[in-house]
Chains A and B, each alone.
Chain A
């Protein structure tokens, strides 16, 4: 079943230049799609457009269907009802959208309540279970903490726990590991794959880290200046890139087993 389908979708911030330019793609249930590209390629704008988070003044064209329903003409309220607890988003730094003066537990609880979980005991249990699942072994301490008392990696895990709590059908992730240390990044990647396996959620991941995209995704899309220049199965895009830009991008990545750049020394 198709979770998301986008047809010739464009976003413009200033009315003239397209930040996202006629992008078409679809995401099936249980599929992980990564969008890679350099800064300014429009990959984050595309993701924000899917969730309806574009700033006022941005104009969109083209079609978008979420769960089979056309969202391009929906107002905010209708879109919220459609997405509800079925679509979640993880941002680069979860800390940025947490309330700095409220304890993690209070924020997490409010989030679950708003999404219709009325049983208080059930909410508490779910919070603890999700944090444990994300390998935060002392969930009570985390829930009692204020956001600033946790490291960036722990905050990010809380954000991911929240986003995954309601078993979303679609998870949108915007550079979810961009600010994390490499060992923490590996853990977060692992958890996203676990979510897909245990719930069949579809994931759209935006990243500049091509190694991560190659590891995690079934398909990869490559964006350059707003256009989706290549889209295909990961093996194809990484192994046999068709577009010159993709080839350039892959060549630029410094890999751990690369010939070293260093010329001469002695």
Chain B
């Protein structure tokens, strides 16, 4: 097996709140990503999934813990080192229009990375445009257009093409298809899967839609209030998910198949915000299985089965629910 491409060890990000309190946006996340793998991170708003991505992409400082890329510690980098890392790590965000400069043509936007990293002259880069656009199934004529003349789906394709133009080793997608209509979303997901195969891409796919994340990933990591609560193979999500929060997320998915049949349990949502301020398990205020222990100590990730880890005091290895 090839060497791990990316490894997170105890990755932590805290923000001070008032004079004494701290908000644990990300706490002690351990994750590893192998070359060619597609890992998903799911969770609800504020769970820290985007902060993890931003720390990997060097867009936010790490409070504690380490990030290793190809075995090298890249937790704290100087400016030139960061620039070098960006050659290998590219990121795509939710709103494509906000990444464009409104007066810059698609062609100039697309070739900027190649020129910036010295991979091609401006002239050479322009020659590569038909290929770059073709890769994301767009016609070459689009190079002359301005971003507002493109549809949302086309814009996101261009952003993906740009991220891939410099042949990065890791592509991070943060809610990259969340703002798109379902038909466009499906096309972009298929495109990503094709590119992953063709270019042997390693991807980190972050999203809140369980079904979407599951559909394109090999493995899923579930985050709650800054903590990684469960990680398991995507194919086993429905059957083997074990953490009470993951189960709750699954129950909250509305599928066209289960019309009216599903029971929705009542929850007191005023408890939600408290998780990140707690010492113990962040899910404990909402958890139907909470025990006294859960308030005292934060559970650590423990192996449940092949590729399956859970952080929960109520779960013991070997007897998954």
A residues sitting closer than 8 Å to B (CB atoms) are: 38-39, 135-138, 141-142, 151-154, 157, 181-187, 189-190, 208-212, 214-216, 234-235, 238, 248-250, 252-258, 260-266
Contacts and interface: CB of A to CB of B under 8 A. Distances in A.
A-B pairs with lowest CB-CB distance, top 9: A211-B254, A181-B44, A38-B181, A252-B183, A182-B252, A186-B252, A256-B211, A252-B182, A190-B264
A262 B269 contact: no
Interface in B238-279: 238, 248-260, 262, 264, 266-270, 272-273
A142 B270 CA distance: 10
B258 A215 contact: yes
B115 interface: no
B225 to A, nearest CB: 12
A263 B199 CA distance: 13
Contacts of A142: 270
Taking chain A's interface residues, is the majority helix, strand, or loop, or is none over half, making it mixed?
helix
Contact of B255 (A185, A248, A257, A265): A257
Interface in B175-198: 181-183, 185-186, 189-190, 193-194, 196-197
A142 B273 CA distance: 14
Nearest to B189: A261
A261 B215 contact: yes
Contacts of B218: 262, 265
B269 A153 contact: yes
21 contacts: A38-B183, A136-B270, A153-B272, A182-B208, A182-B210, A184-B269, A186-B252, A187-B269, A189-B264, A190-B266, A211-B253, A254-B186, A254-B209, A256-B237, A260-B214, A261-B190, A262-B193, A262-B215, A262-B216, A262-B234, A263-B193
Nearest to B45: A181
B235 interface: yes
B183 A249 contact: yes
B196 to A, nearest CB: 8
Contacts, number: 143
A240 B55 CA distance: 47
Contacts of B249: 182-183
Q: Summarize B's interface: helix, strand, loop or mixed.
A: helix
Interface residues of B, number: 52
B112 interface: no
A154 B216 CA distance: 32
A175 to B, nearest CB: 13
Nearest to B266: A135
A214 B259 contact: yes
Contacts of A208: 181-182
B254 A215 contact: yes
A184 B248 CA distance: 11
A38 B186 CA distance: 13
A96 to B, nearest CB: 17
B215 A253 contact: no
A174 B258 CA distance: 23
A187 B266 contact: yes
Contacts of B181: 38-39, 208
